[in-house]
Amino acid sequence: MNGYDFILAGAELTALGSGALFWRDKNLLCVSDMHLGKTERRARMGEANLPPYETHDTLSRLQSDLHATGATTVICLGDSFDDAAAAQALLEAEKLWITRLQAGRRWVWIEGNHDPGPVDLGGTHLHELPLPPLIFRHIAKPGHSGELSGHYHPKVTLPVRGRAITRPAFLIDTDRVILPAYGTYTGGLRSHDAALGQLMRPEAIAVLTGTTPRAAPMPR
């Protein structure tokens, strides 16, 4: 399996090249900020249209990660939908696809700032989920340890073979992990932004997503 192994609060975790996180001992897959339905919301708000493939692409990658890991628990760390109306506007085929992915699995939707209310889909809806020694929530809280969160869509730029590459990235230190956005049409916050610098410890690393996950000191 293509990933970067590390330990947080005693839990052995793997940051996958796709942007998902796998906890092998719990057979658990965690993704954040899928923003499903972003194309529909932008059109509804009169914004510039995007190609209508993002939901299909995101669900395809999630299906691949579930197949590769065999995960029986899935935690979606908030902003799974671009807003509540976007969740309602999913095509019936997309809703059925999510239902098939949920079959036989424990599925937890963590509330995000884009989708704070429950959606008309299966699974459990929670504000946050403590699963010792870890806790899963949408937005990181200073001073907490063993925390997995998303929200910021971290991105990192690094020099590779004489050129700069920018990719979504995991930010990891001894207290927390901030996951990259899993959705296809999602922007990002550079790791040198003050909001991320204040949350992450000085020794934090960034793990860039991609075919070969690449770890480096977190750029500041």
Query: Which residues 6+ apart lie within 8 Å of 94 measured at CB?
Result: 36, 55, 56, 59
Distance of CA 98 to the CA centre of its chain: 16
Q: Are 82 and 44 in contact (CB under 8 A)?
A: no
| Single-letter amino acid code for the residue at 210 | G
Category of 70 on φ-ψ map: left (φ > 0), alpha (ψ -120 to 50) or beta: left
Q: Considering the entire predicted model, what is its pTM?
A: 0.92
Q: In the prediction, which pLDDT does 27 show? A: 98
- What is the DSSP code (8-state) at residue 81? B
Kindly list the structural domains of the chain, giving each domain's residue range(s) and its CATH number in brackets, ordered by start.
3-217 (3.60.21)
Q: Over the stretch 31-61, which tens digit does the pLDDT of each residue have?
A: 999 988 665 555 566 565 665 677 888 999 9
* Residues with pLDDT less than 70, the chain: 37-52, 82-87, 89, 116-119
φ, ψ (nearest 5 deg) of residue 46: 75, 20
| Single-letter amino acid code for the residue at 115 | D
- The 3-state DSSP class for residue 160 equals strand
Residue 27 to residue 25: CA distance in whole angstroms? 6
Q: In the prediction, which pLDDT does 84 show? A: 67
Judged on CB neighbours under 10 Å (0-12, 13-18, 19+), 40 is buried
Q: In the prediction, which pLDDT does 167 show? A: 92
Query: Which residues 6+ apart lie within 8 Å of 185 measured at CB?
Result: 35, 38, 39, 50, 54
